Amino acid sequence: MKTETQPEILVPQSHLEQSAKIDSHQHDLFQNGENRLHDDVKMLGNILGDVLTEQEGSSFLELEEKIRLLCKDLRSKSPSSSNQDQFDGGVKALTEIIKGLSQRESLDLIRAFGTYFHLLNVADMYHFIRRERKAAAGGNILPGAIEETIRGLKSRGIKADDIKALLSNLEILPTLTAHPTEALRHTILRKRRHIATILERLDNPNHSERERMEMMEELYYQITSLWQTEEARSTKLTVKDEVQSQLYYLERVFYPIIPALYHELEQSLKAHYPEAEFHIPPFLRIHSWTGGDRDGHPFVTHDVTRETLRYLKTVILKKYLASLEAAIMSLSVSTARVKVSDELLASIQKDDEVIGKEHIEKEWAGKNRSEAYRIKLRYMYYRLQRTLESVDKDHLHEHAYHSEKEYIDDLRVIYKSLKQPKTIRLAKHTLEPMLRQVEIFGFSFVTLDLRQHSTKHTTAIGEITAQLRIISKSYSELSEEEKIKWLSNEINSRRPMIPFKLTFSEETNEIISVFRQARKILEFISPRAIQSYIISMTEKASHVLEVLLLAKEAALIRQDDHDGYESDLTIVPLFETIDDLQRSETLMRSLFENPVYRKHLEARGNVQEIMIGYSDSSKDGGVAASNWELYNAQFRLKALTEHYGIKLRLFHGRGGTVGRGGGAPVHQAILAQPEGTIDGKIKITEQGEIISAKYLLPHIANRNLERIVSAVMVASLEHHSPKHPKAWETVMAKISEEAKNAYRGLVYDDKDFLPFFLEATPIDIIEQMEIGSRPARRGAKKRIEDLRAIPWIFSWMQNRAALPNWFGVGSGIEAAMKAGTSLETLQEMYEKWRFFKSLIDNVQMILCKSDMLVAASYAELAHDKANAERMMQVISGEYERTKKIILELTKQKSLLENDLTLQKSITLRNPYLDPISFIQISALKQFRALEPEDEQRKALLTLLRASVNGIAAGMKNTG
């Protein structure tokens, strides 16, 4: 693909969105390094052009350039809707060319532009790394770096005891979900990763010319392979596919970098608090939903959950075996030269007696008895092998480790013995990383969350009570008070309610089996393989007690001998809709007042995890109302838990786009949370394309985790920042209310909106995309209420309107101004209130990505032209209203004027996005005109799937 002398796409968009406000020296570095990025873009573009010519012929490259230049010219003539006629003329010319294309040409064009975006995104990612390394090499402190954070805390008077108290309470739990927003196959991501690695090697000036030529040849190979690889999946993903996809991040990224992050924190604390001794517990751990999230997912059964964790245990044990093998090679210390501890010698003697020398002496490292460390490590290797052999069985080998604690205890025996002056370096180099990895990853690699919809538990309890005739009337006929009373009594009863042999419906049997399987997993996989059970759409206290009862029936919750409970499971209510968020305080209060539930909480260390859903609340009431209700719910829940002496861990269900809680960099989002609500504990979902954006490359992954840790520490330790005026909350409440009215008035109350949505977006194609194992809808109905938030937003990102991410905000602010709020007040709110600034910046970013002109072309797909025109007038009118108001309150002349690099990136991507959009529109028209059984639809579906991938790569957002 030909590139011009000036860079068309210069900006690390995803990472500027991750670090939107970089300081001045970072900005200068970016400007100074822009030529390096331009060189990478030009080189990759030229290689792609050569590959296209080689693979498809020079005439295809000429066609691609003709369409690209037409789109570029189209954009130059039509920067705004005021030039609609000129734009329409350009669109007509473009449409005529597209009409004359064969399906093969259309597909190849989509893939050409999409491949170009892949290469640009790789260059973007690597340039982010390059800039940061240059900054660090120049002695600059990277924003959000742990060293900078600890230094800043010390300079602001935070005492060592304050940090010790925080560390003892600290919990940071990134949670990988299988939500289907990653449109790219892992095969494509792997190739992008290889290309980034080559760019890094090319940056090394010490390579010879021959070596550089070999790297260039490797680039040609990778880009040729990228071109020849199908982007869209042809088969439905299975849960195991999703587990294996996540495994790259677990093995290649998290496993090596998280221990290094702990080491960085340890060194920074020593440097700035040299007088203090710190114990750093394993506060940062990875959770996952893949294989445990069964909400609306019929393929996640109790067997799938078991096999997922067995598979992950197998992988992590093999990694530990490799570490042990390396340690055996390294620790050749002889007791003839260095003394070892009596504890180590006693441990070896016990192994001799219980396990037997014959099991290790056949190995070379188990024969020389003067090499005590090797002897102990060889016994550990033998036991870990037996543990690995037991993974697929429901019983452990007699010499296997029963838990990671036993394995950690053995490692600590060696570590303590090595921590003497002569061998301290060996301890730090060999044993410390091994210990840290086991503390973090255990025997399950991740902690798997379980999730199910509240109605499933209610239905199951209803069937169980009916069949066993436990209560006099139907469970569904009981009032909420009656349900709570009956559930509490059953939970507190020592007798089992559910018989061992299950004779209920298949669905109820499965619900019960999930809890029983969880019990076995905790026994045979790891005591921390499962910790949380999340209840989707929690609307009543009885929804939580129903799960508590089912857990009790599986012995996950047990009565002790002192009228208390032992509990292995944290019950997590999920508040998703606006209404649920508003009544969350009342619901939790009733649970905290319930003696049975309080005993369960005490057994869980008096920690209450509560999940708040950004996606469904936004889909329910729009982005402004969602953000405000989430903000208020956090305040109320924090105050409530403090009143009852309970620690709160908020679980933020954030997605990638603004409409699902994304947009802002996660560290900025953490700092923008209500004051005091973090308090050392946070859990955050990492979903879909956000996982690859944040964690595909180890350096970027490390920086992302660093910033999360830094933000949580700062938010937890610094409570003295000035509070905003209470009057601002009144203003925000008005904005929220009116924005919600505008949003719901269009999306839910206008009867003509649904047919428009179904025709003016590629939602029908997205529902057929093989990008996840989960169905796109919770039910079979074609209602917006039943559509999941991900495909809802995904479809609007595809037609470039991005409506759920901003619609209603302008009406809300305008209403507040009409009610008496001055522009000056709004400007002050933007400047001084982190929450409001984060909301407005997210909206202005997505407004800049939105394109009403392209969206209007999608609207022409609707059969009812008059309704489509009316809908676009409403949508465009709100867009212009929101844009105008945001420009006024941010004191800008154009969107993202305060971030010109991001603004330029978005603007310059359009000429590459437009061809894919217009080909998609043309293909949608043809696809929908054909009968379902028509063979041509299959070819068109392949074309349309590729177009979805291409637009997603260009927009850098899916759902």
As annotated, the active-site residues are: 179, 619
Instruction: Give the Cβ contact number of residue 208 at 10 Å.
Output: 8
Q: Decide: 683 and 651 in contact? Cβ < 8 Å.
A: yes
Q: What is the number of other CB atoms lying within 10 angstroms of the CB of residue 230?
A: 14
Percentages of the chain per state (helix, strand, coil), in multiples of 5: 65, 5, 30
Residues 264/146, Cβ–Cβ less than 8 Å: yes
Instruction: Please answer whether residues 871 and 760 qualify as being in contact, where contact means their C-beta atoms are separated by less than 8 angstroms.
Output: yes
Residue that the structure tokens 């004779």 belong to: 503
Whole-angstrom CA distances from 410 to 146, 401, 431, 858 are 31, 10, 11, 64
Residue type, 946: A
C-beta of residue 545 within 8 angstroms of C-beta of residue 580? no
> Rg of the chain's alpha carbons, rounded to an integer?
29
* Torsion (CA) 436, 439, 443, 444 in degrees, nearest 10: -100
- The CA distance from 221 to 648, in Å, is 52
Integer Cα distance of 932 and 594 in angstroms: 55
The 3 state secondary structure assigned to 133-151 is HHHHHCCCCCCCCHHHHHH
3-state secondary structure of 536: strand
For tokens 């040849």, the residue is 217
Q: Phi and psi at residue 777, in whole multiples of 5°? A: -120, 150
What Cα–Cα distance (Å) separates residue 779 from each residue in 292, 789, 793, 901?
A: 20, 13, 18, 43
First and final C-alpha spacing in the chain: 29
Instruction: Answer for the pair 914, 87: CB distance below 8 angstroms, yes or no.
Output: no
Q: Which amino acid is at 936?
A: Q
DSSP string, 806-818: TTTHHHHHHHHHH
For residue 264, CA distances in Å to 130, 474, 679, 694 come to 20, 59, 22, 20
Distance of CA 903 to the CA centre of its chain: 25
Structural contact between residues 685 and 574, judged by C-beta atoms closer than 8 angstroms: no
- Taking a C-beta distance cutoff of 8 angstroms, is the pair 706, 196 a contact? no
